[in-house]
Amino acid sequence: MSDVSPTHYSGRFAPSPTGPLHFGSLMTAVASYCDAKSQHGSWLVRIEDTDIPRIFPNSETHILKSIEAFGFEPDAEIIFQRQRLSIYEQVIEQLRQQHWVYACQCTRKMLGSNAIYQGTCRDLDLDFQDQAIRVKVSDELICFEDRLQGRHCSNLQHDLGDFVLKRRDGIINYQLAVVVDDYLQGITHVVRGADLLDNTERQIWLGHLLGYPRLSYMHLPLAMNASGQKLSKQNLAQALDLKQAPLLLSQAIQALQQPAVELDTPSNMLKQAIVQWNIAHIPKQTELAGTYF
Ligand code: GLU
């Protein structure tokens, strides 16, 4: 499998509504937006809400309001993954016909939490009804050249084993939905937090099985809190205060180590950030120095 460098640029911001957007999410939105716009590309927004039990009340509304309040202008209508479940089911069916997926009856308790899946159910030919669905991986090194983090590789068979595309409770896994939608939305460039770096080989593998073109990846350093944890909804990072949009925007631009922009309307600030955008300034590491909130 070889890397490709697409010429047209189509980027995206794909938050999960598992909590309100926080400062780390704003950094991702700013970076994906400025990177796309500085290359005359388009920028799309997708709400990744397949994991229905983890949806946090009202966070979807906060995400949509934030996009507007911070001056982002998506180039197409925002899509919601939970309205697209039949598409992911069709892709699983396509993979089933090609014998790339199988049903698995192993429970998390049987497997242990961090165990590498040994393919226990691979050849059992179980019925797909009410079982988890796993995709087969192969014993080969998958590598990609991240625009910030450099070369990153994984042998999925050694590092992970066959992985789940659909859970026993019917929830479509993020790995499948993200790959299918990046393809169907015509995305060429992924810009997101470095917490997702280790997911990338799984996504490249799925894209390869489905015959999709390779994407370009850039994984941003994560903003950390005072306890040394990445800002996340789970760590109760502060929700973005929309009344403070210009100030927060200038802080996010600064955290990405871009030239300062003058305080103005968010839309004008973004315009200035796009003109000045230079990824050579972004720290080439997975965590930012300093603490955020
Ligand atoms: N939905 C994921 C999240 O909120 C991001 C997915 C991606 O950018 O690939 O963490």
Of 81, 146, 178, the residue with max ligand 1 atoms within 8 A of its CB, to mutate for a pocket test, comes to 178
182 CA: nearest ligand 1 atom: 9
Using the mean position of ligand 1's atoms as its centre, give its distance from the Cα of residue 16 in Å: 6
Mean pLDDT by groups of 10 residues along the chain of 293 residues: 67 96 97 98 98 93 97 98 98 98 90 84 95 97 98 97 97 98 98 97 98 98 90 84 97 97 97 98 93 84
> DSSP string of 195-229?
GGGGGHHHHHHHHHHHTPPPPEEEEEPBPB-TTSP
Name, in order, each residue with C-beta under 8 angstroms of 254's C-beta and a sequence gap of 6 or more. 260
CB atoms within 10 A of CB 110: 9
Instruction: Measure the CA–CA gap between 287 and 195, rounded to whole angstroms.
Output: 9
* C-alpha to C-alpha distance for 105 and 140, rounded to whole angstroms: 26
The CA 70 to ligand 1 mean position distance, Å, reads: 19
d(Cα 288, Cα 291) in Å, to the nearest integer? 8
Which is it for strands 163-166 and 132-135: parallel, antiparallel or unpaired?
Answer: antiparallel
Domains of the chain: 10-84+180-281 (3.40.50.620), 85-166 (3.90.800.10)
Give the pLDDT score at 2: 47
CA 191 to ligand 1 center in whole angstroms: 10
What pLDDT was estimated at residue 7? Answer: 73
Position 1 scores a pLDDT of: 57
Ligand 1 atom with minimal separation from the 195 CA: 10
pLDDT of residue 291: 86
pTM across the whole model: 0.95
